[in-house]
A and B are shown apart, each in its own frame.
Chain A
Amino acid sequence: MAITLKINGKNKSVDAAEGTPLLWVLRDHMGLTGTKFGCGVAQCGACTVHVDGVPIRSCITAHEDVEGSDVTTIEAASGKVADAIRAAWEELAVPQCGYCQAGQIMSAINLLETNKSPTDDDIDNAMSGNICRCATYVRIRAAIKDAAKSV
């Protein structure tokens, strides 16, 4: 039975099997492929999206559980913090292959939205759930600090 989800500010009708993770609804049903599959078990963070402003791992979140919530994906992440993060990411050339970066950015946006000047420990806590196999961590850390300064 179809349910309605609010994705990036728009109501979308979805007819997927109960329990289907939000990740696959976004990617396969809605064509929002910016949110990535990396592990399927909430270990790598590539699938991070915001639900009512809070980062969650969409690979282990049943889509029906976000009915009535606002879901924001990388494609629609916007605002002052998101702009500052993207600007810093571009300036420091953070991404290499870029595959994990949607998740990194979604985690970083929430970090700066809730903590205007994060310490190294704060960054570790907020970002250690996001794996980058290219190991862009040095630049991620620096970019978060740069973005914090500009917000």
Chain B
Amino acid sequence: MFMHLAQPQTAAHETPPKTISFEIVNLSRRRFVKGASGAAFTLAIAACAPNKPSTVSEAVAPIPDNSAVASGPLVFISIAADGRTQITNPRSEMGQQVITTVAQMIADELEVAWDKLEIKQAVGDAKYGDQNTDGSTSVRNHFKRFRMAGASMRQMLTQAAANEWGVDISECSSELGVIKHSSGKTLTYGDVAAAASQLEVPAEDSVKLKSRKEWRYIGKDQTSFTIPDVIRGKGTYGIDVRVPNMLYAVVARPPTVFGRIKSLNDRAALAVRGVTKVIRLPDPQGEAAAFQQLGGVAVIATDTWAAIQGREALEIEWEAGANGNYDSESYGRQLRATARKSGAVKLKRGDVAAAMEGAAKTVTAEYYAAHLSQSPMEPPSATAQWTDGKVECWACTQNPQAARSTVAAICGIPEEDVTIHVTLLGGGFGRKSKPDFIVEAALIAREAGAPVKVTWTREDDVRHGYFHAVSAQYMQAGLDAAGKPTAMLHRTVFPSINSTFGPADEGSNFELSLGATDAPWAVPNLQVEVGKAKAHIRIGWLRSVANVYHAFANQSFAAELAEAAGQDPKDYLLAMIGSDRQIDLSKDGVTYPNYGASLEEHPIDTARMKAVLNKVADMAKWGRDVPDGHGLGISVHRSFLSYVATAIEVAVDAEGKISFPGIWVAVDAGTVVNPANTKVQMEGGTLYGISNALYGEITAKNGVVEQGNFPDWRVMRINESPHKVEVHIMESDAPPGGVGEPGTPTAAPALANAIFAATGQRLRSLPLLGQNDRLKMTKEG
């Protein structure tokens, strides 16, 4: 009777996605029921599809609901008697379509129909493995694990059917939720789910994964689970969470990091209509801000506006503390000066000094890039509710396990007493990996004796961020008579992310490995050095992290050397990368982290790098004549195990106004799970990079960040955006690389190189425009 289910389906990508559910949706309607395992579990409430019932039926989990399972593949999958299949997504959805991607990996190996899928969002719990949605890792680090979960479950279901029939499993096959015996008998997954749940999870080596050509969803353009909700105003983001009897809070944070309250007068604040309470947050402890709250004063009210008004009425005198002298302008000058002097050698190949001496020509250049704010459109927001000494939090977090452990540590309770529900994230870009705002919510709600939502205003987000590091870099190269580089020196100076977590006064090996020590140069004498720089504001990671400034310097400098040698920048760049090879940095004294991956699986492969470069040159018709005022720029970079080349055509008019006649991106991300979405991420990553390169600049004076909102913290708008970004994905069987971040690093250098080609002006300092609308047409960089 289920044979019809085994018929070939329409193309997978035409099947509409079904429901997605987040536990946080509408808490007043939360249901608790008994699962088959006897453990109480929270039923996910369908948040989408208006024609769907508002709750998942109570029979969802003959295979124990995965919230009750300790670990292993079952943690991600439960199957109802009617065949509906619930996938628990452990990763955070911030627009990279990770829900869809995770579903593709699991459902493919599980061999289940796409329209049977329902998605549940996991809470923060180590049983789900790594949940830190950061470093473009969701596919590249978990490709096998998610497929194994699906395949293991498929094998258990098939075994259960074989047991029921009294036959050997080898006589059974399964397709789209139907198990078939060679005699023609069939059972559905739903029929055998309860029996399968009693079986042992098969040993990993006994589980066979599909071959590539058997993939049903992987490599296909499955449509998004979240978009149908989002365009109807239904997606629940962190800031949208509502809990019965909830209050609303905003926080007046010390303007300087580790600043403290000298005096507080809250009388006027308490007189604001709707304000119910004003509380002092504990000051952060120790030397490192890490994920701690920043301290300050919380104003709690009956709505967000009243809380904001109450905060305005606070009279606070602050003590600036040790960071009160931070002045980013003089700091920038200091960084540049440091970069001109020798630093600690982190990569050494050959003898740079001697080769420089013997060079026919030397070229030097200094690059600078300002602090940036991630500024996701949804500012940080979290809601907390305490019950009997335990706290439940709902938040737009990229890292729910860190949120859980940090809240537990700071509130002084065991981790088991902290539940972190993950909402949709209105953008993350690295900001929401840091759970300081969730800690605030937990502390404030405990003090308030009521559930509280903490909202960061835009000013809070821009002023109190974990900023992308400001950087200065000094590059020097020696060229031989033919213009070929024989020596290269790269000095990089920036406050390290490590400074946020402990004492650190120079860039870490991790940060140097993002585009500095792993530059692909086939130069016989090469040296990378790092200089000292102390941090005075919180430094954090932003989409593609140190790759942003390292690729900017390296890829701009390559074009400068081409110019000095009188050669074509693309051909010169190819020559600098050199022969097809796998780069072994250990020979140069570098312990290369390689984004946490093995070098056997993910070597630094110059052939792949050159292939994307050649491809993008073809796409842009590199070498063609362009109109006056136009210029083509090109760059290539490997980050997060993927290779991206970008070509940009700019047009710069007589007044210095920039537009983008064309942008082309070629990406080799190895095996790609969702090509359509990979293209979207390349578009977004490219424009994020261009926006930051053109406008992004956070400055500080007296330890206080000077920008506050979109008028002065500038980001790209539609009238400033290119009209088209053409993306090509290289066919590849290689293991997956990252997709969310690698589109960003090549944008800034391709742009600067294009502006040089258009105007003859070499720009070495980011942002290129800042608050201006026109390039300053000088001959100085």
A residues with CB within 8 A of B = 16-17, 20-21, 24-25, 27-29, 31-41, 43-44, 46, 73-75, 86, 89-90, 93-102, 105, 120, 123-125, 127-141
Q: Tell whether, in the assembled complex, residue B721 and residue A98 are in contact, meaning their CB atoms are under 8 Å apart.
A: no
Q: Tell whether, in the assembled complex, residue A93 and residue B377 are in contact, meaning their CB atoms are under 8 Å apart.
A: no
Q: With A17-B273, A97-B425, A138-B721 known to touch, is A39 a contact of B231 (CB < 8 Å)?
A: no
Q: Tell whether, in the assembled complex, residue A135 and residue B683 are in contact, meaning their CB atoms are under 8 Å apart.
A: yes
Q: Tell whether, in the assembled complex, residue A34 and residue B233 are in contact, meaning their CB atoms are under 8 Å apart.
A: yes
Of the candidates B232, B272, B688, B719, the one whose C-beta lies within 8 Å of that of A34 is B232
Question: Residue of A at shortest CB range from B16?
Answer: A90
The distance from the CB of A27 to the nearest CB of chain B, in whole angstroms, is: 7
Q: Tell whether, in the assembled complex, residue B684 and residue A136 are in contact, meaning their CB atoms are under 8 Å apart.
A: yes
Residue among A29, A31, A38, A124 with max Cβ neighbours from chain B (10 Å): A38
The 4 closest A-B pairs by CB, nearest first: A34-B233, A99-B426, A97-B95, A98-B230
Of the candidates B309, B426, B683, the one whose C-beta lies within 8 Å of that of A98 is B426
The distance from the CB of B356 to the nearest CB of chain A, in whole angstroms, is: 41
Q: Quick check: is B715 within 8 A (CB to CB) of the other chain?
A: yes
Residues of B within 8 A of A131 (CB): 377, 710, 715, 717
Residues of B within 8 A of A74 (CB): 232-233
Q: Tell whether, in the assembled complex, residue A128 and residue B304 are in contact, meaning their CB atoms are under 8 Å apart.
A: no
The CA of A25 and the CA of B528, in the complex, are separated in Å by 56
Q: Tell whether, in the assembled complex, residue A97 and residue B306 are in contact, meaning their CB atoms are under 8 Å apart.
A: no
Residue among B231, B303, B687, B722 with max Cβ neighbours from chain A (10 Å): B231
As a 0/1 sequence over residues 228 to 261 of chain B, the CB contacts with chain A under 8 angstroms (1 = contact) are 1111111111011010000010000000000000
The CA of A32 and the CA of B428, in the complex, are separated in Å by 23
Q: With A34-B232, A93-B676 known to touch, is A43 a contact of B377 (CB < 8 Å)?
A: no
Q: With A39-B709, A97-B427, A135-B687 known to touch, is A90 a contact of B303 (CB < 8 Å)?
A: no
Of the candidates A96, A136, A141, the one whose C-beta lies within 8 Å of that of B96 is A96
Q: Tell whether, in the assembled complex, residue A36 and residue B231 are in contact, meaning their CB atoms are under 8 Å apart.
A: no
The distance from the CB of A87 to the nearest CB of chain B, in whole angstroms, is: 9
The distance from the CB of A60 to the nearest CB of chain B, in whole angstroms, is: 12
Q: Tell whether, in the assembled complex, residue B377 and residue A36 are in contact, meaning their CB atoms are under 8 Å apart.
A: yes
Q: With A34-B234, A137-B687, A138-B722 known to touch, is A95 a contact of B227 (CB < 8 Å)?
A: yes
Q: Tell whether, in the assembled complex, residue B233 and residue A124 are in contact, meaning their CB atoms are under 8 Å apart.
A: no
Q: Tell whether, in the assembled complex, residue A28 and residue B303 are in contact, meaning their CB atoms are under 8 Å apart.
A: yes
Q: Quick check: is B458 within 8 A (CB to CB) of the other chain?
A: yes
Of the candidates B233, B309, B683, B718, the one whose C-beta lies within 8 Å of that of A128 is B718
The CA of A102 and the CA of B429, in the complex, are separated in Å by 20
Q: Tell whether, in the assembled complex, residue A130 and residue B718 are in contact, meaning their CB atoms are under 8 Å apart.
A: yes
User: Chain B binding site: helix, strand, loop or mixed by DSSP?
Assistant: loop
The 22 sampled A-B contact pairs (Cβ below 8 Å) are: A17-B306, A24-B303, A24-B304, A28-B305, A36-B237, A40-B457, A43-B709, A46-B377, A93-B227, A93-B680, A95-B95, A95-B226, A95-B230, A99-B426, A100-B377, A105-B231, A133-B427, A133-B715, A134-B427, A135-B691, A137-B716, A138-B687
The CA of A21 and the CA of B377, in the complex, are separated in Å by 19
Residue among A16, A29, A32, A123 with max Cβ neighbours from chain B (10 Å): A16
Q: Tell whether, in the assembled complex, residue B721 and residue A90 are in contact, meaning their CB atoms are under 8 Å apart.
A: no
Q: Tell whether, in the assembled complex, residue A137 and residue B721 are in contact, meaning their CB atoms are under 8 Å apart.
A: yes
Q: Quick check: is B735 within 8 A (CB to CB) of the other chain?
A: no
As a 0/1 sequence over residues 290 to 334 of chain B, the CB contacts with chain A under 8 angstroms (1 = contact) are 000000000000011110110000000000000000000000000
Residues of B within 8 A of A37 (CB): 239, 304, 379, 455
Q: Tell me which residues from 485 to 526 in chain B have a Cβ below 8 Å from any Cβ of chain A.
A: none
Q: A93-B676, A138-B687 given. 15 additional CB < 8 A pairs?
A: A17-B306, A35-B233, A36-B426, A40-B308, A40-B457, A90-B231, A97-B427, A99-B237, A100-B426, A101-B231, A123-B718, A129-B717, A131-B377, A138-B683, A141-B723
B residues with CB within 8 A of A = 94-97, 223-224, 226-237, 239-240, 242, 248, 272-274, 303-306, 308-309, 375-379, 424-429, 455, 457-458, 676-677, 680, 683-684, 687-688, 691, 709-711, 715-719, 721-725
Question: Residue of B at shortest CB range from A75?
Answer: B233
The CA of A34 and the CA of B230, in the complex, are separated in Å by 8
Residues of A within 8 A of B96 (CB): 96
Q: Tell whether, in the assembled complex, residue A132 and residue B377 are in contact, meaning their CB atoms are under 8 Å apart.
A: yes
Q: Tell whether, in the assembled complex, residue B233 and residue A102 are in contact, meaning their CB atoms are under 8 Å apart.
A: yes
Question: Residue of A at shortest CB range from B425?
Answer: A97
Question: Residue of A at shortest CB range from B717?
Answer: A128
The CA of A135 and the CA of B689, in the complex, are separated in Å by 10
The CA of A31 and the CA of B233, in the complex, are separated in Å by 12
Residues of B within 8 A of A134 (CB): 95, 377, 427, 684, 688
The CA of A139 and the CA of B727, in the complex, are separated in Å by 13
The CA of A89 and the CA of B691, in the complex, are separated in Å by 23
Q: Tell whether, in the assembled complex, residue B718 and residue A140 are in contact, meaning their CB atoms are under 8 Å apart.
A: yes
Residues of A within 8 A of B427 (CB): 96-97, 99, 133-134
The distance from the CB of B453 to the nearest CB of chain A, in whole angstroms, is: 9
Question: Residue of B at shortest CB range from A90?
Answer: B227
The distance from the CB of B661 to the nearest CB of chain A, in whole angstroms, is: 13
The distance from the CB of A116 to the nearest CB of chain B, in whole angstroms, is: 20
Question: Residue of A at shortest CB range from B227?
Answer: A95
Residues of A within 8 A of B94 (CB): 97
Q: With A36-B377, A131-B715 known to touch, is A20 a contact of B683 (CB < 8 Å)?
A: no
Q: Tell whether, in the assembled complex, residue B230 and residue A133 are in contact, meaning their CB atoms are under 8 Å apart.
A: no
Of the candidates A21, A28, A101, the one whose C-beta lies within 8 Å of that of B230 is A101
The CA of A38 and the CA of B378, in the complex, are separated in Å by 6
Residues of A within 8 A of B240 (CB): 27, 33
Q: Tell whether, in the assembled complex, residue A135 and residue B684 are in contact, meaning their CB atoms are under 8 Å apart.
A: yes
Q: Tell whether, in the assembled complex, residue A124 and residue B719 are in contact, meaning their CB atoms are under 8 Å apart.
A: yes
The distance from the CB of A67 to the nearest CB of chain B, in whole angstroms, is: 17
Question: Residue of B at shortest CB range from A21?
Answer: B305
Q: Tell whether, in the assembled complex, residue A99 and residue B377 are in contact, meaning their CB atoms are under 8 Å apart.
A: yes
Q: Tell whether, in the assembled complex, residue A99 and residue B378 are in contact, meaning their CB atoms are under 8 Å apart.
A: yes
The CA of A124 and the CA of B226, in the complex, are separated in Å by 27
The CA of A92 and the CA of B97, in the complex, are separated in Å by 14
Residues of B within 8 A of A33 (CB): 233, 236-237, 239-240, 242
The CA of A21 and the CA of B473, in the complex, are separated in Å by 46
Residues of B within 8 A of A25 (CB): 303
Residue among B233, B376, B455 with max Cβ neighbours from chain A (10 Å): B233
The CA of A131 and the CA of B717, in the complex, are separated in Å by 6
Question: Residue of A at shortest CB range from B224?
Answer: A93
Residues of A within 8 A of B723 (CB): 120, 138, 141
